[in-house]
Homo-oligomer: A and B are copies of this chain.
Amino acid sequence: MKNPLIITIGREYGSGGREIGQALAKRLGIAFYDKELITLAAKKSGLSDEFIASNEQRVRSGLMHSLAASSAYHTGFFANQYLPLAENIFIAQSQVIRTIADKESAVIVGRCADYVLEGRENTINVFIHAPIEARVKRIMALHGVDEAAAMKEIARSDKERGNHYFRYTDMKWGKAQNYDICINSALMGIEKTVEVLAQLAQIEERA
């Protein structure tokens, strides 16, 4: 028997990648993981959800120093107390991702899941992106902010995601060759993109 189908989705902020992942999971009748992963990982490592949520993508050169000075660093429960907090979070999340992949078919958004599951059979790695104009429009509508605020938020998030991905995988985020399929969600819109991915998943499942 084949192992469960896992679809990982990396995405640019404002590209609708998360919404596409949710709709895709629903369409295929499989599980969906995103922030849930944080919760699961938090439970595993004993850290609070809020602390992980606020730190897990803030991979900056100064982070390790500020963490070393923070009380959370000294009071948290660690898989390995000699590793910095961010590394412990990444390790805990990776364990959660592997556990999911062993037990059920799922769509997993973000968290370098493509890298964590590298070499696994029956895994499709997807990257969703969109031109900046389309993303700005989407963030303005979703968050009720003006163009300048949307632009700022997009630049900040893309940078964080890129840094996070590069730090843990040593690979460039958004490099086509790292994925099985990359789609500009603005080309066909969210719904049609889901359709294409669902067809692709079904082809892969039949193979």
- Chain A residues close to B by CB (< 8 Å): 12, 124, 127, 129, 174-177, 179-184, 187-188, 192, 195-196, 199-200, 203-204, 207
Contact = CB atoms under 8 A, between A and B. Distances in A.
SS class, residues of chain A in contact with chain B: mixed
Given A176-B179, A181-B181, 15 more contacts: A12-B177, A124-B187, A129-B176, A174-B175, A174-B176, A176-B176, A176-B182, A180-B183, A180-B187, A181-B187, A187-B200, A187-B204, A188-B200, A188-B207, A196-B203
Contacts of A203: 188, 192, 195-196
Nearest to A127: B176
A204 B30 CA distance: 28
A1 to B, nearest CB: 21
A86 B116 CA distance: 44
24 contacts: A124-B187, A127-B176, A129-B177, A175-B176, A176-B176, A176-B179, A176-B182, A179-B182, A179-B184, A180-B183, A180-B187, A181-B181, A181-B183, A181-B184, A181-B187, A182-B182, A187-B200, A187-B204, A188-B200, A188-B203, A188-B204, A188-B207, A195-B203, A196-B200
